[in-house]
Structure 1
Amino acid sequence: MFVRAVYVTGDPAKVEAAIRALNSEGRGLLEDRPEYRGADVFVDRDLGKLLAVSWWGSEGARRNSDQVMSERRGPMLEPFAGTVAVQNYEVAVFHSVQMPRAGGGLRATRVEFDPADTDLFVETFRSSAVPRLEALPGFARCALFVDRRWGRGMAGSLFVDRASMAASRAAQAAARHADAAKAHVTVVGLEEFEVVHADVHPD
């Protein structure tokens, strides 16, 4: 699979309007496109941040959806959006044990690496991070996105509630340090969000 990740910042007081637009007009636009596999919407209401991820069965399908979404994105996110950044990734790992819930938590880790180390990073995440995450109380789903050309990626772990995510912070900090060294990656960002909507159908 492939994803398009849209990262938006703006006035926290106006974030609810953007959430409503994404969950109504945005979802309708996506569902009309071939090979659409689902979408996630995450929010940080205190700081005014949104992360919207759409999932696609092929890179071509993701690319074919770009034009209609780029045309509608600005008007749909008004008046909230102050900055909008769009990045495209390959889904290297997707592992789900239960459905995420609205009100749950997402921990997103952004990394950079030598493109030559992409496969090492993917295998480290699959063999080391996934089993540890699966053993955590409240764990729902994890995924690893990579951009092999530019050597960047994002790892996300979803929990059914914010308390479970908070309880995992210390253990995950130690594991993140060990895995980053093993996979030769540099962590360049670490964020947590509330789950607004998370519904992905890989097949």
Structure 2
Amino acid sequence: MYVRATRVQNPPDAVEKGIAFFKEKVAPAVKGAPGNAGAILLVDRKTGAAVGITMWATAQALGASEQVGISSRTQSAAATGGSIVNVERGEQVIADRAQPPKAGSFVRLNTITGDPKKIDDAIKFVEKQVLPVLKALKGYRALLMSVDRLTGRSTVSTVWETIADLEASEPKVSSLRRDAADAAGASDVKVEIFETAFVEIAQPARV
């Protein structure tokens, strides 16, 4: 599975407009593209930050959908008065789902920029050390990891039933986060909290 993640900065008072646009325009447009496997929208209602994620069955499908992606993000930013921060692409290497995807869940998005040569070490660490701990915690719904093997950048998204569950998990994962950074050859991990505003997965991913 491959993903394209578009970060958009919207005015906080335009978040609902952005969610509606994604549901009504972006998701249907990408759903009709060959090889599409789903779409997700993450939002921070306080800051207006949003991440639109589209999922693709193959690298070829991801590449072929670039024009759809350009149109969607340009129109989305125009509709909300927002600005496109960046667009990143990656290979999804872990997709563990204890519960089916749903809107209203909460996501801790960890971004690690490490050594490209250590990507496989980072994947192994998340699989063997992080995942077993998370699966035992209250409210755990999913863990998704994507990597860019050329740059060494990886993202680990953990999904929780409620914001309280997410916050309660922090003491358990903070030390693991530092160890994951070490495994990836990174000096630090960027951590962001989002709400899942929209999710539609065509094909349930496997570990």
Q: Which moved more, 1:98-107 or 1:34-43?
A: 98-107
Structure 2 partner of 1:62:
62
CA distance in 2, matches of 1:139, 1:176: 17
Residues 30 and 68 of structure 2 are in contact (CA less than 8 Å); yes or no, is this contact kept in structure 1?
Answer: no
* Residue 14 of structure 1: how far off its partner (Å): 1.0
* Residue 108 of structure 1: how far off its partner (Å): 0.3
TM-score (norm 2): 0.92
CA distance in 2, matches of 1:187, 1:34: 37
Aligned-pair identity in percent equals: 27
Residues 121 and 185 of structure 1 are in contact (CA less than 8 Å); yes or no, is this contact kept in structure 2?
Answer: no
Correspondence 1:145-160 to 2 at 5 A: 145-160=146-161
1:132 and 2:144 correspond: no
CA distance in 2, matches of 1:71, 1:116: 34
Q: Tell me the alpha carbon deviations over residues 81-118 of structure 1, each in whole angstroms, 9 at most, x when there is no partner.
A: 12331100001111111024322210000001111111
Structure 1 partner of 2:165:
164
Structure 2 residue ranges without an equivalent (≥5): none
Residues 118 and 183 of structure 2 are in contact (CA less than 8 Å); yes or no, is this contact kept in structure 1?
Answer: no
Correspondence 1:1-203 to 2 at 5 A: 1-77=1-77, 78-200=79-201, 201-202=203-204
Amino acid at match of 1:176: R
SS at match of 1:168: helix
Amino acid at match of 1:143: L
* Residue 45 of structure 1: how far off its partner (Å): 0.6
Q: Which moved more, 1:64-73 or 1:138-147?
A: 64-73
Amino acid at match of 2:114: F
Q: Tell me the alpha carbon deviations over residues 35-90 of structure 1, each in whole angstroms, 9 at most, x when there is no partner.
A: 11111111101011111111110011011111122023212332331233110000
TM-score (norm 1): 0.94
* Residue 2 of structure 1: how far off its partner (Å): 0.3
Residues 8 and 85 of structure 1 are in contact (CA less than 8 Å); yes or no, is this contact kept in structure 2?
Answer: yes
* Residue 12 of structure 1: how far off its partner (Å): 0.4
Amino acid at match of 1:170: P
SS at match of 1:99: coil
> Where has structure 1 moved over 6 Å in runs of 4 or more?
none
Q: Which has the higher strand share?
A: 1
Structure 1 residues 186 and 90: alpha-carbon distance in aligned structure 2, compared to 1, 3 A threshold:
farther
Q: Tell me the alpha carbon deviations over residues 155-203 of structure 1, each in whole angstroms, 9 at most, x when there is no partner.
A: 1000111111111111111221223224433334110001112332246
SS at match of 1:98: coil
SS at match of 2:41: strand
Residues 6 and 73 of structure 2 are in contact (CA less than 8 Å); yes or no, is this contact kept in structure 1?
Answer: no
Q: Which moved more, 1:139-148 or 1:179-188?
A: 179-188
Structure 1 residue ranges without an equivalent (≥5): none
CA distance in 2, matches of 1:176, 1:105: 18
